[in-house]
Structure 1
Amino acid sequence: MIRIVPKPTDTPDDNSTGAVIQELERAGAQYGVLDLGAIDPLDSGLENELIWVCGIRQDGHQFETLSVLALDNQVINTPESIVTCASKVMTSALLIQNGVRTPRTAYLRSETQANDFLSRHGKVVYKPLYGYDGNGIRLVTEPAELGPGPWYLQEYVKNDRDFRVFVLGGEAVGAITRVSDSLMHNIHQGGIGMPVTIDEEMRAIAEASASAIGIDYCGVDLLRDAEGYTVLEVNGTPNWHCMAAPIPKLLAAYLIEHERGMRA
C-alpha cells in the first residue's frame, strides 16, 4: 500500500495531493492517508511500506517523525532531501560542490561581510533561509535595507521571468515559465505561468540539480542570464501549476512502480 502524507497547503482549487490520488485510483492502486500528527513514529506499526510525502509543515516534529519512519520504510522524497531543499544554504552548497551554475551566493552573520557582498554586486536579493512561495524575498540596494542578520544573499540577476522544471526519477518531464513585473515570479505572488518546451540546456542543468540534491522528484527554479541558465533553488515538495505534462499521472506511475519493486 502507498501511504500518503498530504500537502498541508492544499486547497479545493489547488489540490496537489488530490490530483495524484485520482491517478492512483484510476490505476487501481491501494493507498491510505498518513497523518504525521496522529502517530508515534517509535511505535507506528509501519514496516516495509512506501510513504509518499506530498508536503509537510516546516517543523521539527514532522521532520523527526519522517526520519524515524524512513528507517523501516521507503520514503519519497527522503527526509534528508526534503530538509536539504528546505535549507537554501545546503541547497546552494550542494549545487556549488557539484559544479551546477547558481547565482553568486553568501550566507553571512558579519554585517561588514554582508555590506561588502552588497557593495560588490550593487543589488542583491535577500531570501529567508526557510522561506516558501516567494514570501519574504526582497531586493536590497543599500546597507540599511539588510535588516537583522544572519543573511542569505544572492546576486541580483535582471529578468522578467523564471522557469520551473519538474524532474522525476532523474528525468526532466515538464517545464513552465512564470512571468511577472515584480521581483518574485511565483504563481502564489501573482506570476503568470505557461508551459514551455524543455530545451537541452534546461534539461541538463535541471537534472544535474536533482542529482546534486539526491532527490526522487523536485521543481528546479531557473533564471536565464547572459551565460545561460542558472539555478535559484530546488523545491522538494513542488506544485506543478500550468505544466502541459501530466505530472500527477507520471508521479502516480512512479510511486506504483516503486511500491511494486518493494514487493518483488
Structure 2
Amino acid sequence: MRRLAVTTSSETFARMRGPLAARGIEVGHLPAKEFALDLTRPPTEEFDVGFVYPSRMMEGGVIDARYDIPWVNTREDILASRNKGGVIAALSRADIPVPKTVAVSNPVEDDELVSAVESAGLDFPLVVKPNSTTRGVGIAKAHDVDSLLGIVDHQNLVHDFRATGDKSYLVQEWLPDARDYRIMLLDGEIVGGVERRLSDEARADGRWKHNVHRGADAVGIDVPDEHRELAKAVAETLGIRYLGVDLLESNGRLVVSETNARPTIDDAGKYEDGFFDALAALIERVAKNAA
C-alpha cells in the first residue's frame, strides 16, 4: 500500500483518508509547522509521495529535505498559485479573461499609484488585496481616492517592517453583484465545482466577500460549459495538477479572479463521479514517476 504524506490535519485529511484507503493509499499526517524537531535523527515514518507541499516555505524546505519525496503539487506550484499578480499576468498573456488589475510593489508614492489606477481605466469602487494572502485576509473595498489611500497607508505600515516578506499588493476593478465559483481540476480535467453564496442577511449587512472561511456557503453545482472551458484553460496555462480555479461572473462577463494550489477537499457530494479514482490515479503516477 502506498503511503501519502498530508501536511494538514484538518478537513482535507479526514475526508480523503477513507476513500483513498479503499484505493490502496494510506494517508498519514506529516506535521509541517509548530514543531521542535531533532534533524540529526532519521524520520520514524516513511512516505512514498506527498500530497501538497507545505504552506510555510522554510518549514517545507526542512520537511522536503528530510523525507525526499515527490509532491503532487510542488513547491513551485504553491508559489506560482499564491502569487495572485503573477497568475493574473500569466493568464492575461494567454488571453484568458481576468479583472483589470494594477500590481503595486512598495514603496510607491501616492501620486504614482493614483496615476497607475487612472491609466488602467479603473473606476471606483476598487478592490485592494495583498498579493499572497489566502481566505480573503486583508482584502478591502475603496470607494474613492481618500479611502484608497487610507487602505494603502495600512499596507505601507505593514510593509515598513523589515521582516515582511511580501511587499506587494493588487488594485482591481470591482465587479458588482458577482457570482463566485470555485472549479476543481485534476490533471486538467474538471472534477467538481461549487458556487459560494452569501445569505440574504449577510448581503443586507453589506458583506461582499464570498470566502467560505468568512461564512459563505459552498453549494455544489453542475459546472456550465463556459466555466469548464475557462477553468481548463487556466490549468493548462499554469501546469498545476491539482487546482482550484476561482471565477467571477458579473454583467455578462466571466473572469478568473484567483487560483488555489492548496484547495480543501470538500464534501464528496460536491464532486463529479470518479473524483477519488482520479485522485488516487494521480498520486500513483507521481509516486511511480519518481521511483
Asked if 2 retains the 8 angstrom alpha-carbon contact of 1:104 and 1:154, the reply is yes
Find the partner of 1:169 among 187, 191, 212.
187
Counterpart amino acid of 1:102? V
Match of 1:140?
142
Match of 1:61?
58
Match of 1:130?
132
* Aligned-pair CA distance for 1:28: 2.8
Asked if 1 retains the 8 angstrom alpha-carbon contact of 2:243 and 2:261, the reply is yes
Larger radius of gyration: 2
Structure 2 gap ranges (5+): 157-167
Match of 1:179?
197
* More deviation, 123-132/249-258: 249-258
Distance 1:18 1:116, change over 3 A: same
Match of 2:165?
none
Distance 1:29 1:151, change over 3 A: closer
Q: Where do 1:67-146 residues align within 5 Å?
A: 68=65, 73-108=69-104, 109=106, 110=108, 111-119=110-118, 120-145=122-147, 146=151
Q: Where do 1:204-219 residues align within 5 Å?
A: 204-219=229-244
Deviations 1:201-228 (A, max 9, x none): 1111111111222211111000013453
1:245 partnered with 2:243: no
* Aligned-pair CA distance for 1:151: 3.2
Distance 1:195 1:23, change over 3 A: same
* Aligned-pair CA distance for 1:49: 3.5
Distance 1:160 1:83, change over 3 A: same
Give TM-score, length-normalised by structure 1: 0.83
Secondary structure in 1 matching 2:130:
coil
CA distance in 1, matches of 2:271, 2:25: 24
Deviations 1:219-263 (A, max 9, x none): 100001345320000001012445243645542343234435556
Give TM-score, length-normalised by structure 2: 0.76
Secondary structure in 1 matching 2:25:
coil
Asked if 2 retains the 8 angstrom alpha-carbon contact of 1:20 and 1:249, the reply is no
* Aligned-pair CA distance for 1:143: 2.6
Match of 2:18?
22
* Aligned-pair CA distance for 1:45: 10
* Aligned-pair CA distance for 1:85: 1.1
Count of residues in correspondence between the two structures: 255
CA distance in 2, matches of 1:49, 1:115: 51
CA distance in 2, matches of 1:85, 1:202: 19
CA distance in 2, matches of 1:74, 1:87: 22
Match of 1:6?
7
CA distance in 2, matches of 1:39, 1:98: 46
| Aligned residues with identical type, % of pairs | 23
Match of 1:254?
282
Asked if 2 retains the 8 angstrom alpha-carbon contact of 1:20 and 1:251, the reply is no
1:222 partnered with 2:227: no
Find the partner of 1:152 among 170, 192, 202.
170
Asked if 2 retains the 8 angstrom alpha-carbon contact of 1:166 and 1:240, the reply is no
CA distance in 2, matches of 1:144, 1:151: 18
Structure 1 gap ranges (5+): none
Asked if 1 retains the 8 angstrom alpha-carbon contact of 2:248 and 2:254, the reply is yes
- Alpha carbon RMSD of aligned pairs, Å? 3.0
